[in-house]
Structure 1
Amino acid sequence: MADVNEIVLAEPRGFCAGVDRAIEIVERALAKFGAPIYVRHEIVHNTYVVNDLKSRGAIFIEELDEVPPGATLVFSAHGVSKEVQREAERRGFRIFDATCPLVTKVHVEVAKLHKEGFEFIMIGHKGHPEVEGTMGQLDSGIHLVEDVADVARVQPGQTERLAVVTQTTLSVDDAAEIAAAVKARFPNVREPKQQDICYATQNRQDAVKVLSPQVDILIVVGSPTSSNSNRLRELAKKLGTESYMVDSADELLPEWFEGRPRVGLTAGASAPDVLVQQVIERLRALGAQTVRKMDGVQETLKFPLPKGLKLDA
C-alpha cells in the first residue's frame, strides 16, 4: 500500500509563455479559418495537447508535401530551418509562425554573427527539432556538441571568430559544463550576452533544486519527447531524489510511493495544468492528505501573437 501523505507543488511549473502562445496560435487559426489547420511537427511536445488539438481539426505533419495547396500552416514552437521556411512560402501556404520568441532570438543572433564571419558551436541534442531549426539557419558553419567529449572532437574551419549558441531547453548545469569546455579549448569564443537557455527552463530547474531535498520522491508531468521535462527528472535524480516522469495520472504506480510519504510534483513547460490536477487526484486516492505549494518565482511574461490572428468581434 502506498504511504503518500503530503504533496508539495513546485513553483513555477507547467506552461511557459512560448507554449501558451503556440497553442493559442493553433486555436485561433482553427477559429478564424476553420479546420483543418496543418501544423509542422508537434506544436509542443505534449501528447495531451497534441491529441486535444487533433480532435478540433489540427493535422500534424512532418513533410510539407503532406499539406494541400492553399492550406493554412503553423510552424511549431521549436522553430524551423530556412529551407523549410522558403519551401513553405514557395508552395503558397498561409503561414503562421509559432516559433517561441526565445528560439527566434537565437536564430537572429546566428544570422547577425554569420554576416560578421562567425562560425558556431551549438550545445544541444542531435535530432531535436529546435536544434535542427537553429542549425538550419545556415547552410554550414554550425557544429553541434552534445557533451564535453564532443568538444574535444569538434573541428571548426577557423577559431578567430567562433560563437556559442545553446538549445533553450537544456540542463542549465550540463550546458554550463559543456560551455566551460568550449571556452577552455577556444579561449576567444564569443558567448551570448544573455544565456540562450530560456527563463522557464531555468526557473523550473531552480524550483526542482529547492524542492528535491524536501521530498521523498519527485513526479514530473511531461511527455517522453519533452526535452525540458526530461531534464527535470534527471536533475532530481542527480540530487539524490527518486524521480519519475509521467504523461498522465494513469502511469503512476502505487509501489513507487512505498515508504515515501512526501511527494514533490512538477510539470515541464509543455505540460498543461489539467494533467497536474489529475495527478493530484490520483495521489489523493493513494492517501495524500495535504497539498502545499512551494514559494517560487511568479512568471508574468506574455508574448504577442502574429498579425492576422485577431478574431473578429
Structure 2
Amino acid sequence: MIELLSQEILSHGDKSRILPLERLADLQKDIAEFEERQDLNGFQKWIAGSLYQFDSPAADFGSRSLLIIASPNPAYAKVIFHWQGQKVPLICLARSEMGKKAAPARTKQYLTRFLKPLGYHIQAAPRLPLKRLAVRSGLAAYGRNNICYVEGMGSFFTLVAYFSDIPCDAGDWHELRVMEHCQSCNACLKNCPTGAILPERFLIDNERCLSYFNESPGDFPDWLPRSVHHCLYDCLMCQRICPQNRERIDHVTGPVEFDEAETALLLSGKTLPEFPPALRRKVRFLGMDEWLGAMPRNIRVLLENHQSA
C-alpha cells in the first residue's frame, strides 16, 4: 500500500514519506529539547513554544501514520510596477495558486480520490513542525541557511502533512543533517545581506534575517541599509545564490504587472477588501495579502531604490 501511495504522489509531481504515528512523540521530544537551548532568541522561543501542535486529531478514523509531502513551487515570480511613468522590475514569491496556499487543497483532493476507494483517510496536520518532520523522515535535508532542500526541487517547495489511518510499521528516523555540499560551501553565508547566517553555528539569527523585517510592519531598524532590499517580502538572496538550486532557479512565473493606479493603492495602506477585484487577485496570487501591513513600506523602499540606482 505504501509503495502504491508513493507512486500516486509521484504521478502528481510531488514526493513523500510516511512514518508510523509513534514518531509523533519523537517529533515532540525534538522540539522540547530545541526549546531548552540557551542560545535561542525571543522569536525562536516563541516558535518552539507556541507555534506547534502535536495532538492527534479528533477524526472518524483511528490515526496510524504521518504523511509528509513536498510539492514544488516556482522559485519566484517576476513583478513589474508602473510608477511615475517608469516600469520597475522586481521579484516576489508566488504563494497561492503556485505555492503554499494551493498545495494543501491540491494534495488533499488527489489523495482523497486515491485513498477513499481503498478505505483509507487523511486529515490535515498543519501545526506540526514540517521542516523537522521532512528531515527526520528522510524526505529533505537542511541547508546551512536553515532552509530545507528536497532532491529535484531544491528549496522551492511547499510541505504538507497529514494524519492517516494507512498502516505503517516501519519508517526510518533520520538524524538531523545538513547537506554534505554545505560543508565546503559558504555561498549563502557570504551573500546574506544582514549577516543572519552565522559561521560558528547552524542555527541562524532569524531576528536579524531580512525576512523577519520584511514581514513585520513598522519602521526598518536604522542599522539596516536600504540597499539590501530586493524583493516584496521574505528574502530570496540565500536561495538564489545556492548551488543546490541551480537547476530550479529559472522556474519562475509572471510577470505580474501593477499599473499606476494599482501601485498607488498598494502604497496607500488600504485593506484588501478596498482593492478592486483584479488587484485582489494579483495580491493573493503573490501571497502579499499575508503581509499587507508591511507592503506600503516595502514597495516604497524598492521603488526609491530603483529611482536612485
TM bracket, shorter-chain basis: under 0.3
TM-score scaled by length of structure 2: 0.26
Q: With the length of structure 1 as denominator, give the TM-score of the two structures.
A: 0.26
**Greater relative CO (CA pairs within 8 A, separation 6+):** 1
